[in-house]
Amino acid sequence: AEQIIANIARTSFPHKKIKVICPDSASNQKGHSRQLIQRAIDSCSLAGGGHVIISKGIYYLKGNLVLKSDVNLHLEKDAYLLFSGKADDFLPEVWTRWEGTELYGHSPMIYAKHATNIAITGQGTIDAQGGREFASWSQIEVSDRNRLRKMGEKLIPVTERIFGKGTILRPSCIQFMGCSRILVEGITIKNSPFWTIHPVYCDNVIVRSITIDSHYPNNDGCDPESTSNVLIEECIFRTGDDAIAIKAGRDADGREIGRPSKNIVIRNCLFQSECNGLCIGSEMSGGVENIYMDNIQIGTVKNALYFKSNRDRGGYIRNIQVSNITIERSKGAVLRFETNYFGFRGGRHTSQYENFRINNVKAGCSDHYAIFIDGYEEKPIKNIEIEHFHVQKAPHPYYLR
């Protein structure tokens, strides 16, 4: 793990600073804040980079912000970016990945594409207002979701997978697509419409000392997807869905792209999640390997340590080390290996799970299992070492198949 951290290329920015002062409420209501901040980002990047300083105040943002190379977007204490939460403000569509399948869809609140050396830092707050319109889409998205999955399965060209006005696939809050050297540090993020921080096809990512407070459906904390050389540390995640879920694309689309997530270290964090704690999957068709999780405190969750896929996925999960985890309560299992995750559509692509070392886990109680391992004969789950694994109370110590 130390070697992975040492190898992560860091961000660095010229001293140049552009300061954005909060506009008066009339021009703020008209949406001038977004133009001010975007112009500052654009001119800072064009001039060779530096820091765009957002001074204190509430900024009403009717639409996305696009981060550009060599810019550190720095939110001073009491700077509050309040996004409109209105879906139409996040059009036109951008290139993105939704639950592991590529498409053109609604823009995240903060978006970057093919940028290098970028950061979001400071003591301020980003509020996506995901509850205003987006959150309710989770109840009605099934037809768009199925349409996208069929396109992914048939490998329809991504340029034809347009999910714009009138479609209902929720965007992530902060998404970096194909970027390198990324730092997210210090900030608080609230009310995401979907996954909160979502780096896709990225390299050299550090997420440090941030707080996420987001309780809508699918509000994962940080989901690195097909992304390598990542450090997530000293974060507090209070989330409506998985605190962390490492991903690598879904089914045929994910296998075709074939880009794994690898070399990821997660340490010294606190997770209060309404779903699961530390997860890999279920979208992991490009493969996930070389993951280190250490010194994590987990509150009451469904499954605390959760590796999930099904036979539509293929791919692999391997070389995983988990140590020094404390858990209050698991409603499902403390440690769960799931190869039959829900939504199975009849594929024949069994995932390979191998080389897991789980050490020094202490849990108060589990409502069902301490350890749940469910594999397939044709690709058994291989080489799991578990030591110093203590669960005070559980009706079933283990389920093994």
- Judge whether residue 180 has pLDDT over 90: yes
Confidence (pLDDT) at 357: 99
Tens-place pLDDT, residues 87-131: 999 999 999 999 999 999 999 999 999 999 999 999 999 999 999
Contact indicator for 237, 173 with CB cutoff of 8 Å: no
Give the number of other Cβ atoms within 10 Å of residue 165's Cβ: 11
Q: Which residue has the tokens 């900024």?
A: 59
Domain ranges of the chain: 2-91+109-128+174-400
Q: Could you tell me which residues come within 8 angstroms of residue 29 by beta carbon, excluding any fewer than 6 positions away?
A: 60
Confidence (pLDDT) at 132: 98
* Rounded CA separation 332/178 (Å): 35
For 274-343, list the strands marked E by DSSP. Answer: 278-281, 288-301, 305-308, 316-330, 333-338
Concatenating the DSSP letter of every residue in 215-269 gives -STT--SB--BS-EEEEEES-EEEESS-SEEEB---HHHHHHH-PPEEEEEEEEE
Tens-place pLDDT, residues 41-50: 999 999 999 9
Closest CA to 94 of 121, 125, 63: 63
pLDDT mean over 23-49? 95
Confidence (pLDDT) at 217: 97
Confidence (pLDDT) at 232: 99
Mean pLDDT value across the chain? 98
- Judge whether residue 28 has pLDDT over 90: no
Percent of the chain topping pLDDT 90: 98
Q: Which amino acid is at 76?
A: E
- Judge whether residue 197 has pLDDT over 90: yes
- Judge whether residue 30 has pLDDT over 90: no
Q: Could you tell me which residues come within 8 angstroms of residue 14 by beta carbon, excluding any fewer than 6 positions away?
A: 48, 49, 50, 70
Residue 324 — pLDDT band, cuts 50, 70, 90?
very high
- Residue 87 per-residue DSSP state: G
2-91+109-128+174-400 classified as CATH 2.160.20.10: yes
Tens-place pLDDT, residues 1-15: 999 999 999 999 999
Confidence (pLDDT) at 342: 92
Q: Find the distance separating the first CA and the last CA of the chain, reported in whole Å.
A: 31
Cis peptide before 92 (omega within 30 of 0): yes
Confidence (pLDDT) at 321: 99
Token pair, residue 303, equals 């499954």
pLDDT mean over 236-252? 98
pLDDT mean over 135-146? 98
Confidence (pLDDT) at 29: 85
Q: Which residue has the tokens 């780096």?
A: 199
Q: Please provide residue 388's backbone torsions phi and psi, each rounded to the nearest 5 degrees.
A: 50, 55
SS3 27: helix
Q: Which residue has the tokens 């509150």?
A: 299
Residue 31 — pLDDT band, cuts 50, 70, 90?
confident
Contact indicator for 278, 266 with CB cutoff of 8 Å: yes
pLDDT mean over 265-284? 98
* Rounded CA separation 219/135 (Å): 10
In terms of Cβ atoms closer than 10 Å to its own Cβ (0-12, 13-18, 19+), residue 312 is: buried
